[in-house]
A and B are shown apart, each in its own frame.
Chain A
Amino acid sequence: MKCPRCLNTDREFFYRGSNGWYCRKCISFGRAMLEEDREAAVLEPVRAGSEEYVLQYPLTEAQARVSHQCAEAIDTTSVLLHCVCGAGKTELVVESISKMLKARKNVCFAIPRRQVVLELENRLRQYFPNAEVTAVCGGHTEKLTGDIVICTTHQLYRYYGTFDLLILDEPDAFPFRGNAVLHGIAETACRGRTIYLTATPDAWLKEKEKRGELICLKLNRRPHGHDLPVPVIKTAPTVILLGILLYWLKKRSTPRMIFVPTIRQAHLLHTFLSRFVSCSVCTSKTENRDEVIEAFRQKKDGIIISTTVLERGVTIPGSDVCVFHADHGVFDEAGLIQMAGRAGRSFQYPDGDVLFLESSRSALVRKCRKEILEANRCAV
Chain B
Amino acid sequence: MRCLMCGKPMSKETFADLFREEDVLCADCRDGWKRIRRNFRFQGKKAFVLYEYNAAFSSCLLQFKECGDEALKTAFLYPDRRMLRRMYHGRTLLLMPSSEEKERERGFSHLKELFEGVGLPMMEPFLKTGEQSQKSLGRKERRKMSRGILLKPGIALPHRCVLADDVITTGSTMRGALSVLPEGLDLRIFACALTPSRTSEDFLNA
Q: Which residues of A contact B (CB under 8 A)?
A: 12-13, 15, 17-19, 22, 24-25, 27-31
Are the CB atoms of B108 and A19 closer together than 8 Å? yes
User: A residues within 8 A CB of B71?
Assistant: 15, 17, 24
Given the complex of chains A and B, what is the CA–CA distance between A28 and B7 in angstroms? 13
Are the CB atoms of B67 and A17 closer together than 8 Å? no
Given the complex of chains A and B, what is the CA–CA distance between A131 and B72 in angstroms? 45
**What is the distance, in angstroms, from B137's C-beta to the closest C-beta of chain A?**
31
User: A residues within 8 A CB of B67?
Assistant: 27-31
In the complex, which range does the number of interface residues on chain B fall in? 10 to 19
Interface of A is mostly: mixed
If A18-B70, A24-B69, A27-B67 are given as contacts, then 20 extra A-B residue pairs at C-beta distance below 8 Å, sorted by A number, are: A12-B2, A15-B69, A15-B70, A15-B71, A17-B70, A17-B107, A17-B108, A18-B107, A19-B107, A19-B108, A22-B68, A24-B71, A25-B7, A27-B63, A27-B68, A28-B67, A29-B67, A30-B67, A30-B68, A31-B69
User: B residues within 8 A CB of A28?
Assistant: 63, 67
User: A residues within 8 A CB of B70?
Assistant: 15, 17-18, 22
User: A residues within 8 A CB of B7?
Assistant: 13, 24-25
Tell me the total A-B contact number using a CB cutoff of 8 A.
34
Residue of B nearest to A19 (CB): B107
Interface of B is mostly: loop
User: A residues within 8 A CB of B63?
Assistant: 27-28
A interface footprint on B147-188 (CB within 8 Å = 1, 0 otherwise): 000000000000000000000000000000000000000000
A interface footprint on B62-76 (CB within 8 Å = 1, 0 otherwise): 010001111100000
Residue of B nearest to A30 (CB): B67
A/B interface sample: 7 pairs, CB < 8 A: A15-B70, A17-B70, A18-B107, A24-B69, A27-B69, A28-B63, A30-B68
User: A residues within 8 A CB of B2?
Assistant: 12
Residues B93-152 near A (CB distance < 8 A): 107-108, 113
Residue of A nearest to B112 (CB): A18
Given the complex of chains A and B, what is the CA–CA distance between A28 and B69 in angstroms? 9
Given the complex of chains A and B, what is the CA–CA distance between A370 and B67 in angstroms? 47
Residues B23-79 near A (CB distance < 8 A): 63, 67-71
User: B residues within 8 A CB of A15?
Assistant: 69-71
Are the CB atoms of B69 and A18 closer together than 8 Å? no
Given the complex of chains A and B, what is the CA–CA distance between A31 and B107 in angstroms? 11
Given the complex of chains A and B, what is the CA–CA distance between A12 and B4 in angstroms? 11
Interface centre among A13, A19, A24, A25 (most CB of B within 10 A): A24
User: B residues within 8 A CB of A29?
Assistant: 67
Given the complex of chains A and B, what is the CA–CA distance between A12 and B2 in angstroms? 8
User: A residues within 8 A CB of B107?
Assistant: 17-19
User: B residues within 8 A CB of A31?
Assistant: 67-69
Given the complex of chains A and B, what is the CA–CA distance between A27 and B62 in angstroms? 11
Interface centre among A12, A15, A25, A31 (most CB of B within 10 A): A31
Given the complex of chains A and B, what is the CA–CA distance between A157 and B71 in angstroms? 22
**What is the distance, in angstroms, from A176's C-beta to the closest C-beta of chain B?**
19
User: A residues within 8 A CB of B113?
Assistant: 18
Given the complex of chains A and B, what is the CA–CA distance between A13 and B5 in angstroms? 11
Given the complex of chains A and B, what is the CA–CA distance between A31 and B70 in angstroms? 10
Given the complex of chains A and B, what is the CA–CA distance between A18 and B73 in angstroms? 12
Residue of A nearest to B73 (CB): A17
User: B residues within 8 A CB of A27?
Assistant: 63, 67-69
Given the complex of chains A and B, what is the CA–CA distance between A24 and B70 in angstroms? 9
Residue of A nearest to B62 (CB): A28
**What is the distance, in angstroms, from B104's C-beta to the closest C-beta of chain A?**
11
Given the complex of chains A and B, what is the CA–CA distance between A30 and B63 in angstroms? 8
Residue of B nearest to A15 (CB): B71
Given the complex of chains A and B, what is the CA–CA distance between A28 and B113 in angstroms? 20
Given the complex of chains A and B, what is the CA–CA distance between A378 and B78 in angstroms? 62
User: B residues within 8 A CB of A18?
Assistant: 70, 107-108, 113
User: B residues within 8 A CB of A30?
Assistant: 67-68
